[in-house]
Structure 1
Amino acid sequence: MAHTEPTDDGVPDGLLGWCPVANMSRETVRGEGGPDIQHGTKHFRAGTLLWIPPVRWDPGHQRWRAVGRHRGNGGRYVNMVVRADDLENFRVKGVYSEALVRGLNGHGHDPAAPRTMQDPWTLERAQKWADARNHRGERAFFVDGNRRVLPGVSVPDPPPAEFEVDGETLYLVSHGQWGVQYSRRPRPVERLPGS
């Protein structure tokens, strides 16, 4: 166990670097023909702590490289690309493990310098990145036909019942575990018996 007492310069003893982290969401949504709710993903259990290394290459489509303990390989760290929507609770943690450094460095890891992080986060940069992920609005989805993300559109929580995008009014269909979903058609008004 590494000692974490601050040294004279205020840095915990044994600290190898800083890194933003997040947890795998309790429920993840999959499925083209309709929502398929899962607990975690194929590779990571719900709640798994994932470390987000600085971007060296962009996997695109709101996906990030993440390092975490795989659900089925004896607790070793693995590198995977995960969907940003499947992560929650962003924050910053200190890195103290050489095994974690090896995972964060990926193919660029230098065995001659096992405690050296390649392209490390600064504490300030990591905190700013994590704060931005926690304070963003919810992504909005368009559900007429196939479900798709409205590019560049995020809505506050609670989401508005309707809003305008490119001169077109969109109406709230649902807000819940499948995200915020909008349609071109307003929701039908439910009639109560006897009214």
Structure 2
Amino acid sequence: MTDAVITAGHGDETEAEVAERAIDEKAYGFWIYLMSDAIIFALLFATFVVMSHNTADGPGGHTLFRLPHTFAETMLLLASSTTFGFASVAIVAVQRWRTLTWLGVTFLLGLGFVAMEISEFYGMAVAGAGPWRSGFLSAFFTLVGTHGTHVSVGLVWIVLLGCEVALRGLNPFVASRLYRLGLFWHFLVIVWISVFSVVYLPGIL
């Protein structure tokens, strides 16, 4: 059912009530998606833990990972979660341009995170520590790369919804999409904290 369609069989409901019910159904469906995504990441974490010592006499985390670099990535993503929170406050207050401003800041922080991650991957690959080198590196690139891909999708989503806010304003359907984007973005921040704690810190220490 699209946002503009009111299904038959609900003649006793007003248009606003049907719209609200549709928004609730979409939010429920998105929670199911997030749970399925969490399962995927849990499997990737489990695979990494199993493969973490299978370096095939190649480089391990203690020689590849740089704590200042990873810490900077983490700060960028945490800051982006905060700025998205400010955008959410602006959405509730129906402040279009403030919402766009904070979404723009969130986008820039997320873009910086992705750029640093690509730089890290490129440097490792050039040094001969690509995903083909060992089971450890295959698991690392798969886990961290999957997260980075999710963040990249989130950036595209921010741009699309930002354009929609600029053109259509903060009507209930646009606000509900921003709410779901917020869930997705904060979920990725939580996953990254797990990556930092499970992948990088043990590898460095």
Smaller-chain TM-score range? under 0.3
TM-score (norm 2): 0.20
Query: When you count helix as a share of all residues, which structure comes out higher?
Result: 2
TM-score (norm 1): 0.21
Greater RCO (Cα-Cα under 8 Å, separation 6 or more): 2
